[in-house]
Structure 1
Amino acid sequence: MQDLSTLLLWLYNLTSFCIRIGMLCYVPLKHEPPTAVAWLLAINIWPWGGFILYSLFGSTGLPRERLRRRQTLLSELGNALHDIRVKVLQEVNDPVLRDQQKRISYMAYKMVDMSPVAGNKMELLADLEEYLDRLCQDIDEAERYVYLLYYIFSYDKMTKKLFNSLESAARRGVECRILVDSVGAKEFLRQHTYLLRSSGVKIAEALPLRFLRRTSFTARYDIRNHRKIAIIDGKVAYTGSHNIIEPSYNRKAGGREWHDLSVRLTGPVVIQLLAVCYEDWYVETHEDVPLDKMLYFLPRLNKEGNAIVQTVPSGPSMQLQNYQRLLVLALLNAERRVTITTPYFIPDSETMRAIETARIMGVEVRLIVPERADKLIVGSVARAYFSPLLEMGVKIYQYKGDILHAKTVTVDDDLAFLGTSNFDIRSFALDFEVDLIFYSQEEINCILGAQEAYMARSKLLHPNEWEKRPALERVVYGITKLFSPLF
């Protein structure tokens, strides 16, 4: 018996040594240095556990089959998208942008092939009840189709009216499609699809998971579709931070409510968001792309307002980290002030350097985050960055009470970002996201006004107060920061 124990211990030590050496050779080839160091640290501390975790969560890419499917789809959509630009956007004049705006818009265009478009109207929506009421009203008036794409999609006392509107629309002949993330909407997929499907609503899951088995379309278990988009008849679009769930997320954070910010849009930019929905739907469902039908479904969009907007999708299927690159460029070009609202703040080293550079150049940087995050570990990782931020002179506002879930960035009263991306590595590199860039002053001022309201409900963190935190907190934050590239 003792010999067997000795043999097993010897085998464990041998395999642990082989794992350490093998991963030391492999991991640095696949990741940037900070991420590689974090993974190697985890593997060195616990070789077998680290190896298993890396096998499940280490890859940042997608399987070749999914990438081929996306490339084929984009090729099929190529001519159709050209026709869209000619048919729908030809009457929209090229917007006049200022120099800083031109740099951002050109970089975004080179990455996603979507230009800024004028002639839009934006309505800012913060309250979930109002958001659902407006969405249900638009669905009730739909004549051709309703496309919904959400990370979390839940049936509850607040959202049931949306389900009723969808059932009613499908029964009167409106084509209704719902694409939801397989993890974020797992309860909905298990329990609440029957009535919708029996009414004629088409439902699909994004990035499906199976127990102990990854599908050929899923590279790792925690790559998710975090987008939130609603399209009605190609005329109206919604996007932002709202998920379809009541504000306390089923009391996930002890009854605290999520405070979100989304927009309702009309005008040519709706077609850009529609293209994002098309791509996600057809990549996930493997359906043939009905190009003639797509073009038939496109309305003749007139000028609805004066908003200049550009859509920026991002995700692991794209060559670059689109949103992160744009944030870095915006920070480096800022001249006066940058304001960031995000529920999760876990920047990569490049973004931190951009913030530091902005501060060196005299730019005021304001960060608004929840006082207490809904996720303990993620909150600890975020707070690990407070010390260097305060040393740079960044003003940190902690939103009191509820969970601030809005995702916005404003730069010099000249640019505004709003969408689904958090200011963290996960949104930069892992999840499928979609964000909007606003170039028109009225819309920028609206988003700035929302940020000012958040600051009014927040407490400014003073460096002296932060230095008084307990020693144990310092140790915990320091340790969690080592693993921040993994979150």
Structure 2
Amino acid sequence: MWHHLLALALVLAVHVAVLCRVLLNDDMSSDARAAWFFVLIGFPIIGIVVYLFLGEPWMARSFRRRAATVWEQPIANISAMSGGMSSGLIPDRYRPVFETCASLNGCGAAIGNVASLAADSDAAIRDMVHDFDLARETIHVSFYIWLTDNNGRLVVEALRRAAARGVTCRVVVDAFGSRDLIRSAYWAAMKQSGIKLCVSLVSSLGVSLASISRPDLRNHRKIVVVDNSVTYCGSQNCADPEFRIKPRFAPWIDIMLRFEGPVARQNQLVFANDWAVEYGEDLSSLASEPFPGELEGDCAAAAFGTGPMSPKGSMSDVFVSLLQSAQQEVVISTPYFVPDLQLLASLMASARRKVTTILILPARNDSHVVSAISKAHYARLLASGVKIYEYHGGLLHAKTVVVDGQLTLVGSANMDFRSLYLNFENNILFYSDKNSGDVRARQDIYISSSTQVDEQDVKKRPRLRRIYDNLLTIVGPVF
């Protein structure tokens, strides 16, 4: 009997210790703290195990040491990557958004960029392959998901051709998202071609908690940089829109932009930091090279990365700054909508101050839990004046925010807790009437294939479904 009491006392002690840890964690938001309390009180044993593995974005001590060393290195030529605000090009009301980005990338906006929007996912891959075939010095690629489908193979072969010409090619893929590629003959073929390969965030049991990282951390970034002067940014993974690993939700509707100009140096810096931490090769000299010549582009842009070691809530801060800068209209598309409290409040505040606030979400989501949590927020959003559209032409995977047809954010970050607080993400914020107009026109195409959500229909949802959805919002920060 005594050993049962001892086991019970031990479990109780661990339970109290974990609850205290939740209360003592100053980096945890209040809604995340409430969610974990609910899980730990309601499901003590399971809750303890889940929290120990998934409760905090903890990284291996060795990873943190390497990252701190890399991130503390000064940017040698910051003038090559900035200047937009000092030139007076960016209107005053948008400056706080770029200042928020500057706190993350260290250099703010870069001017003189030329940007273009790819017609669709296949066109984006064709454009990349064309740039790879013209490359003379370096090609850097980072994808969360890289499949061995048609588009995936096209990129593999283009990289191998470039490597054969003497171009230095570096590739980063997420250990989980690109596991099929890593196990395939294409990965081996790239290695044999002399391409430098890095598998990001490989799970390791290690010998102690100090030597391992949280097992569900993801490098969700999508970065392409060619010859240190051309870069791509958007929501697209290296895959066909048919997305054969989840064909039931196809086609995947993505967005990708090509930028030529100094902002490529900033995206290079995001890639270089990842590469130095996980591969061990210092590329900081590339990121700080002065841009050759002057471009006639009128696009001011800032590239930045966020992750579990960024200032807490930094990605949410960017979204909130964008919403606060809007005067007439803000249009958002995102596949995964699980906002934190400040983002949800900012969306509603935007609509209440008579800014046309439009949210476009997929009608069918590959995540049932995320879909349920999204719908649980509909009533409050609609009551505040937010217009919600559900897209029916596949899974709308494009992550876009356009403010007043002038200021745009594109990249890998969703409006969910994983992107806001956990995943390694990358985005580009840009100010340009023409390029923002192109993205805004693309958003209109999404809306034309969508159904507007009716407030009365939301109110008529069955009580049991409302209870279920609202219960999930309580634990939303856990997902």
TM-score exceeds 0.5: yes
Q: 1:99-145 CA distances to partner (integer Å, 9 max, x unpaired)?
A: 21122222322342122122111111252211111111111111111
Asked if the contact 2:329–2:356 (Cα under 8 Å) also holds between the matched residues in 1, the reply is: yes
Moved more, 402-411 or 149-158: 149-158
Alignment of 1:241-390 (within 5 A): 241-254=235-248, 256-287=250-281, 289=282, 294=286, 300-390=292-382
Q: Structure 2 CA distance, aligned partners of 1:110 and 1:84? A: 14
Q: Structure 1 CA distance, aligned partners of 2:324 and 2:249? A: 39
**Aligned with residue 53 of structure 2, among 56, 74, 86:** 56
Equivalent position of 1:109 in the other structure? 102
1:168 aligns with 2:165: no
Moved more, 307-316 or 61-70: 61-70
What secondary structure does 2:305 align onto?
strand
Asked if the contact 1:236–1:270 (Cα under 8 Å) also holds between the matched residues in 2, the reply is: yes
1:24 aligns with 2:13: no
Q: 1:85: how far off?
A: 2.9
Moved more, 56-65 or 367-376: 56-65
The letter of the residue matching 1:254 is: R
Q: Structure 2 CA distance, aligned partners of 1:92 and 1:102? A: 7
Q: Structure 2 CA distance, aligned partners of 1:295 and 1:348? A: 33
Long gaps (5+) in structure 1: none
**Aligned with residue 123 of structure 1, among 97, 116, 125:** 116
What secondary structure does 2:361 align onto?
strand
The letter of the residue matching 2:477 is: P
Q: Percent identity?
A: 28
Q: Structure 1 residues 207 and 216 mapped into 2: Cα distance closer, same or farther (>3 Å)?
A: farther
| Coordinate RMSD, CA, aligned | 2.4
TM-score, with structure 2 as normaliser: 0.93
Long gaps (5+) in structure 2: none
Asked if the contact 2:331–2:401 (Cα under 8 Å) also holds between the matched residues in 1, the reply is: yes
Q: Structure 1 residues 366 and 212 mapped into 2: Cα distance closer, same or farther (>3 Å)?
A: farther
Asked if the contact 1:126–1:259 (Cα under 8 Å) also holds between the matched residues in 2, the reply is: no
What secondary structure does 1:159 align onto?
helix
Asked if the contact 1:118–1:308 (Cα under 8 Å) also holds between the matched residues in 2, the reply is: yes
Q: 1:380: how far off?
A: 1.4
Equivalent position of 2:148 in the other structure? 155
Q: 1:138-178 CA distances to partner (integer Å, 9 max, x unpaired)?
A: 11111111100111112113321211111111112111110
Asked if the contact 2:151–2:240 (Cα under 8 Å) also holds between the matched residues in 1, the reply is: yes
What secondary structure does 1:210 align onto?
coil
Equivalent position of 1:67 in the other structure? 64
Q: Structure 1 CA distance, aligned partners of 2:350 and 2:83? A: 38
Alignment of 1:89-238 (within 5 A): 94-191=87-184, 192-210=186-204, 219-238=213-232
Asked if the contact 1:268–1:301 (Cα under 8 Å) also holds between the matched residues in 2, the reply is: no
Q: 1:386: how far off?
A: 1.3
Number of aligned residues: 476
The letter of the residue matching 1:237 is: T
Q: 1:427-459 CA distances to partner (integer Å, 9 max, x unpaired)?
A: 111111111111121111111111111111100
**Aligned with residue 391 of structure 2, among 395, 399, 410:** 399
Q: Structure 1 CA distance, aligned partners of 2:240 and 2:354? A: 41
Asked if the contact 2:272–2:284 (Cα under 8 Å) also holds between the matched residues in 1, the reply is: no
The letter of the residue matching 1:400 is: H
Moved more, 335-344 or 353-362: 353-362
